Amino acid sequence: MGQYNNTELLEKHHQIFIEQTPTAIAMLDVNMVYLAASQRWVKDFKLEGEKIVGRSHYDIFPEIGEDWKIKNQECLNGAIDICDEAPFYRKDGTMQWIYWDVRPWYNMDGEIGGLLMHTGDITEQKEKELEKKRFETILNDTSKIARIGTWELNLSTNKIIWSKMIYDIHEVSQDFEPTIESSLEFFKEGESRDAATVAIQNAISQGSSINLDLELINAKGKSVWAKFIGKVEYVKGTPTRFYGIMQDISSIRSTEQRLNKAHSELEAIFNSKSIAVITTDKDGIINRYNSGAEQLLGYSAAEMIGKQKPEIYMLEEELMQFRKDMIAEFNDDVTDKDFNYRNENINDTRQWTFKRKNGTTFPVLSTITAVNNEQSQNEGFIAVATDISKIKDVKDKLRRKNELLNHAEKITMMGNWQWNMVLDTVVWSSNLYEIFGFDEENVELKYDTYLDFVHPDDKDFVVEHIKNFIASNKKKGLVHRIVLEDGTVKTIKLIGEVITNAKGEITEVIGACQDITESKKAEDKLIEAKEELEIFTKKLSSRNQQLADFTHITSHNLRAPVANLNSLLEIYGYSEDEEERADIFDKFSNVIHHLTSTLNTLIEALKTKVGNANENLDDCDLNVLLENTTQILSGEILKSNIVITSDFSQVSNLTYNKIYLESIFLNLVGNAIKYRSENRSPEINITSEIIDGKINLKFQDNGLGIDLKKHGHKLFGLNKIFHRHPEAKGVGLFLTKTQIEAMGGSISAVSEVNVGTTFIINFN
């Protein structure tokens, strides 16, 4: 009993002991029923207020899975289950990090009496650890990104330890073993190395910390700017360690430099005299006002900054419009009372009218940008404005010129086009649409649009011409026809020009078209009129020539016998001798006879000139004609023994005034007989031939010949004689020429004295 009591007591003690153990511990029997649990157990597993002893472990922790149950079972068979950390997912959804030690307990008989579980809630500790890990990872990453490395100098051993980043910065391999000397070597000779040397000395001797930006020349010879931060660690008053970080700040430095540059550039812009830069604060008061603004507006910076709002130089109605536009742009709900456009990301460029201090206004192009803080609250505006009065002037001029061009194109019926060869886009001037009767609203224009209008008969040469003109790169005009959609045909004059880029490549072809339909018609009429006029002039000048000839003839051939008559009359007047008077009278009759014959010749010539010779055209057979001539002249032919030969094989028939042609034959053959040479047996050869499409008739003799140098000019004149021949009257050739010319032909002669003469008639 005592023993029993003892045992009971002992268990009771155990129970008390377990319950009060400051760690979490529980004692279970072989059925996994709680015999005892420490307060800590209750607390760790949040079991306060629950009856534990006598209940099954699995009742209390229904979340325990099969795997754990198996492990418990193994322990009940003598195994020991120890785990340093494991997550324990509770049924209420929380998670606890716990460690445990589960082992069997043995009763006095040495049999397993159950399990002894010792656990610890390490959730808090675990979270700290994880946090630290996270922190370290972040630090590591940051260091890498920020190119920060750590270094350490053991002051007792002088040993240096570098982190990987420092190796990277120095661009040396990992097996490099740095020493104080070798690491100092990396600092750029001069300022940087001196500063580093002093800093290390001071750190060792006085324990002072450092914070320096120094320049390194790394193993690859690259210049690297690095920030050094270091401090000394003391142990019992003696410095033992000098450690710190090193950050590659090259990019920061270059960024800084770039920033400086950008800043100075901005300054330059701000200081520009041609651009006005004006900024306002959140209340709309001007806080920056550059010299460009001073120049443009006439207000000084002193007058404006901190005192005025931009309203002073802006027009009220334009500001109203701007506000209205901004509200419309950023706020769909116009009724929203809380909406303030100032807080939006305004970036607006438009034309404004600014008012100078002297009241005059001028146009500007201004970009207004809102400056907002992180909370999207407006902190002011920046306005950059340029005076565009000149640009406006130029634009106005350009517009006026364009209008003029449009007018000019209308008046001259011209149009112009621009063909961008790269994109195959074409732009037509409005009058070109007009000329082509094409609707401006029509389809997108292409090169082919133009060709579609070209008259089908002209298309080939237009395409060819354009091709050639682009290839030769020369300005060239071309006249062709177009057919409008309604079928109207127009005549167009096209002139193009090739535009090349800097490399000489053709990028654009520009050109002008003129509707010359009317002028072409007029031109055709003009050409027709001109041709008629030329024919008329020719006729007229030939008439004039004939008239001049007549004056000459009158002067020479009528005046001479009249003068003779006068002289004879004078002598007759004072002559007293009857015989002489009879003689003189004889002369009178001679002169009158001569005068009559001359007059008759002139009348005949006049008839030839005035009458229309072309009215009496006959088909003349040259062989028949020659036969008639030889019959008429048979007496002379017989007397002179002249040999007449002819060749009319080329042309045997001729449509001509038969009377004239007979007269021509009679005169020329007669002349050949009359002026034959006594030294030769006389010959005449008559041939017809076609030269340059015209019928020629040639009379070639072997007679006396004429010195044409001396007499050529009067060969065909009236009453011109060249031989002291009793029958020479100077009429035949004159009439021959008159007749030939009346028929539109011409006569010429080649001759050599004592060889012969050839007359050539060219029937036109």
Q: By C-beta, is 448 or 586 nearer to another protein?
A: 586
Shortest distance, CB of residue 737 to another protein, whole angstroms?
Answer: 18
Helix residue ranges, H only, 554-675: 559-574, 578-610, 622-632, 634-640, 658-674
**Can you tell me which of 295, 420, 564, 640 binds another protein, judged by CB under 8 A?**
564
**Can you tell me which of 112, 252, 421, 728 binds another protein, judged by CB under 8 A?**
728
Residue 248, burial from CB neighbour count under 10 angstroms (0-12, 13-18, 19+): buried
Segment holding 82, helix H or strand E: strand 81-89
- Across the beta sheet with 746-752, the strand order is 643-647, 683-691, 694-701, 756-763, 746-752
Q: Check binding of 602 to another protein (CB under 8 A).
A: no
CA distance 442 to 433: 10
Quick one: tokens of 725?
């021949």
User: What pairs with residue 364 in β-bridges?
Assistant: 352, 387
- The strand ranges marked E within 107-203 are 112-121, 148-154, 159-162
Shortest distance, CB of residue 757 to another protein, whole angstroms?
Answer: 16
Shortest distance, CB of residue 586 to another protein, whole angstroms?
Answer: 10
Count other Cβ atoms within 10 Å, centred on residue 107. 10
Shortest distance, CB of residue 550 to another protein, whole angstroms?
Answer: 12
Part of the chain binding another protein (CB under 8 A), chosen from 66-74, 330-338, 351-359, 549-557: 549-557
Q: Check binding of 722 to another protein (CB under 8 A).
A: yes
**Can you tell me which of 563, 617, 643, 690 binds another protein, judged by CB under 8 A?**
563
Q: Check binding of 164 to another protein (CB under 8 A).
A: no
Part of the chain binding another protein (CB under 8 A), chosen from 51-59, 105-113, 452-460, 548-556: 548-556
409 to 429, 431, 591, 631, 703: CA distances (angstroms): 9, 6, 78, 78, 74
User: Would you report the helix, strand and coil content of the chain in percent, each value rounded to 5?
Assistant: 45, 30, 25
CA distance 227 to 249: 7
Shortest distance, CB of residue 594 to another protein, whole angstroms?
Answer: 8
Part of the chain binding another protein (CB under 8 A), chosen from 57-65, 378-386, 429-437, 570-578: 570-578
Site for another protein in 42-81 (CB under 8 A): none
Q: Check binding of 568 to another protein (CB under 8 A).
A: yes
**Can you tell me which of 103, 282, 556, 698 binds another protein, judged by CB under 8 A?**
556
Q: By C-beta, is 55 or 710 nearer to another protein?
A: 710
Q: Check binding of 721 to another protein (CB under 8 A).
A: yes
CA distance 409 to 402: 10
CA distance 435 to 447: 17
Shortest distance, CB of residue 582 to another protein, whole angstroms?
Answer: 14
Q: Check binding of 574 to another protein (CB under 8 A).
A: yes
Q: Check binding of 595 to another protein (CB under 8 A).
A: no
Helix residue ranges, H only, 233-333: 250-271, 291-297, 301-304, 316-330
Q: Check binding of 571 to another protein (CB under 8 A).
A: yes
Part of the chain binding another protein (CB under 8 A), chosen from 293-301, 425-433, 534-542, 720-728: 720-728
Q: Are 657 and 698 in contact (CB under 8 A)?
A: no
Q: Check binding of 720 to another protein (CB under 8 A).
A: yes
Q: By C-beta, is 242 or 734 nearer to another protein?
A: 734
Q: By C-beta, is 33 or 560 nearer to another protein?
A: 560
Give the chain's length: 764
Segment holding 548, helix H or strand E: helix 517-553
Shortest distance, CB of residue 669 to another protein, whole angstroms?
Answer: 22
What number of chain residues touch another protein (CB under 8 A)? 28
Part of the chain binding another protein (CB under 8 A), chosen from 40-48, 255-263, 662-670, 722-730: 722-730
Q: By C-beta, is 364 or 584 nearer to another protein?
A: 584
**Can you tell me which of 591, 613, 633, 673 binds another protein, judged by CB under 8 A?**
591
Part of the chain binding another protein (CB under 8 A), chosen from 318-326, 411-419, 723-731, 734-742: 723-731
Shortest distance, CB of residue 559 to another protein, whole angstroms?
Answer: 4
Q: By C-beta, is 307 or 559 nearer to another protein?
A: 559
Residue among 47, 118, 114 nearest 77 (CA): 114
Q: Check binding of 442 to another protein (CB under 8 A).
A: no
* 139 Cα distance to chain centroid: 55
Q: Are 280 and 260 in contact (CB under 8 A)?
A: no
Q: By C-beta, is 71 or 556 nearer to another protein?
A: 556
Q: Check binding of 356 to another protein (CB under 8 A).
A: no
What region, left, alpha or beta, does residue 236 occupy, with left being phi > 0 and alpha being psi -120 to 50 degrees?
A: left
Contacts of 126 (CB under 8 A, 6+ apart): 85, 97
Burial 630-659 (b: 16+ CB within 10 A, else e): beebeebbeeeebebebebeeeeebebbbe
Q: By C-beta, is 596 or 681 nearer to another protein?
A: 596
Shortest distance, CB of residue 722 to another protein, whole angstroms?
Answer: 5
Q: By C-beta, is 629 or 719 nearer to another protein?
A: 719
Q: Check binding of 570 to another protein (CB under 8 A).
A: yes
What's the count of helices (H) and strands (E) in the chain, helices before strands?
A: 24, 27
Q: Check binding of 559 to another protein (CB under 8 A).
A: yes
CA distance 655 to 659: 12
Q: What is the chain's Cα-based Rg?
A: 66
Q: By C-beta, is 488 or 551 nearer to another protein?
A: 551
Q: By C-beta, is 660 or 675 nearer to another protein?
A: 675
What is the three-class DSSP state of 45?
Answer: coil
**Can you tell me which of 560, 626, 755, 760 binds another protein, judged by CB under 8 A?**
560
**Can you tell me which of 547, 600, 710, 748 binds another protein, judged by CB under 8 A?**
710
Part of the chain binding another protein (CB under 8 A), chosen from 30-38, 178-186, 583-591, 733-741: 583-591
Q: Are 575 and 581 in contact (CB under 8 A)?
A: yes
Shortest distance, CB of residue 713 to another protein, whole angstroms?
Answer: 10
Q: By C-beta, is 525 or 713 nearer to another protein?
A: 713
Part of the chain binding another protein (CB under 8 A), chosen from 47-55, 72-80, 395-403, 562-570: 562-570
Part of the chain binding another protein (CB under 8 A), chosen from 311-319, 365-373, 393-401, 567-575: 567-575
Q: By C-beta, is 599 or 610 nearer to another protein?
A: 599
Residue 312, burial from CB neighbour count under 10 angstroms (0-12, 13-18, 19+): middle
CA angle 72, 77, 79 (to 5 degrees): 70
Q: Check binding of 724 to another protein (CB under 8 A).
A: yes
Q: Check binding of 587 to another protein (CB under 8 A).
A: yes
- The strand ranges marked E within 674-745 are 683-691, 694-701
User: What pairs with residue 619 in β-bridges?
Assistant: 655
CA distance 454 to 490: 10
**Can you tell me which of 353, 376, 541, 566 binds another protein, judged by CB under 8 A?**
566
Binding site for another protein (CB under 8 A): 552, 555-556, 559-564, 566-568, 570-571, 574-575, 580, 587, 590-591, 710, 719-724, 728
